Amino acid sequence: MDFRTEIEVAPARFKISTDSKIMTVGSCFSEVIGSQLTDNKLQCLCNPYGTVFNPASIFKLISHSLQNQPIFKHLMLENNGIWQHYDFHSKFYAHSKEELEKELNLTHRNVNQFLRKANFLVITLGTSIVYQLKENSQIVSNCHKTPASHFKKELLNVKDIIMKFRPMYETLKMQNNKIKILLTVSPVRHTRETLQLNSVSKSILRTACYHLEQDFSDVHYFPSYEIMMDDLRDYRFYKADMIHPNEQAEQYIFEKFANTYFTEDLNIFLKEWNKVKMSLNHRPIQVDTPAHQRFLNDLLEKLTILSNKIDVTSEIELVRSQLVAA
């Protein structure tokens, strides 16, 4: 007897290998995927703009990076001596307008350089609800605690999302024709907008992803949202806020992601690397015993072999620092 409905993920038309370069962008779930990729030693630029929830802002930021377009100065704001930008997450701030402008333009340049050589762009869409500045109708990525009276709330429709995706996609493919795009809808629930409106918002995002996957042969959808809503249909898979998936759920979804997109060689490597990570996390009571020194030498040998595939410079230095000179 089955007590759950496991999501069957369609086989991917393309695979991620050990030498793939991947950029993740979008909602906080992009941070989860990107962190997992980075922890497993894949070349990943993880959420370079910070958390971005709506597709209009995501596609706009990527387009500006690809075009090396300077930031829009009219979207910078100052509050109590701190400068921020409506297009970027609150982690980007400075004590002067010039300092912030320099940092944000550098972010665009770094993304531009990475995307030109990247193999995959992973985009996680969080909500189709957007906020527009009343003074100029610009959609913002972050309101930065500006009074709500300054904004107009809107709901993007499927056509809006597809129309905003296409120019970004065309610009991207002009600079890197081989890159593949993986779309997913965030499993994080936006309860602040009410659960009813969250359902409407997610359905719009999912429908847009469906059409984008149908229209573009190098766009593939991964069902993070469906796995959380149907396969893991239980509050025990949420954090205490009942909004975000907990670590167990995040790991489960990432394993589904790996089974879908990773090559056989990469999955074999991950098994080896996870064993090495467990060894690296081992904390003995006494570090200078002969047994532990043999353990460290064995670990150093494994890391040296892995260094032919991945960068483990910091791990090798850590192990060497614990070795006791004979």
3-state helix/strand/coil string of 237-284? HECCCCCCECHHHHHHHHHHHHHHHECHHHHHHHHHHHHHHHHHCCCC
Over residues 51-103, the pLDDT tens digits come to 999 999 999 999 999 999 899 999 999 988 999 999 999 999 999 999 999 99
Instruction: Please give the mean pLDDT across all residues of the chain.
Output: 92
Which of the four pLDDT bands, split at 50, 70 and 90, describes residue 325?
A: low
Report the pLDDT averaged over residues 184-206: 92
Higher pLDDT, 6 or 108: 108
- Min mean pLDDT across 14-28, 47-61, 68-82, 278-292 is at 278-292
Residue 284's pLDDT is 80
Is the predicted pLDDT of residue 326 greater than 60, yes or no?
Answer: no
Over residues 223-255, the pLDDT tens digits come to 999 999 999 988 899 899 899 999 999 999 999
Residue 1's pLDDT is 65
Is the predicted pLDDT of residue 20 greater than 90, yes or no?
Answer: yes
Residue 193's pLDDT is 82
Rounded to 5°, angle at Cα 259 from 232 and 9: 55
| Contacts of the segment 193-198: beta carbons below 8 A, 24+ positions apart | 193/127, 193/129, 197/129, 198/127
| HSE-up of residue 233 (Cα within 13 Å, Cβ side) | 9
Report the share of the chain in percent with pLDDT over 90. Answer: 71
Residue 293's pLDDT is 87
Token readout for 74 is 């009219």
Residue 291's pLDDT is 87
Report the pLDDT averaged over residues 312-316: 90
Report the pLDDT averaged over residues 186-198: 89
Report the pLDDT averaged over residues 319-323: 87
Domain boundaries, the chain: 21-262, 264-326
Q: Phi-psi region for residue 14, left (φ > 0), alpha (ψ -120 to 50) or beta?
A: beta
Token readout for 154 is 């809107």
Residue 285's pLDDT is 77
Residue 56 identity: A
79 backbone dihedrals φ, ψ, rounded to 5°: -145, 115
CATH topology of domain 21-262: Rossmann fold (3.40.50)
Over residues 113-151, the pLDDT tens digits come to 999 999 999 999 999 999 999 999 999 999 999 999 999
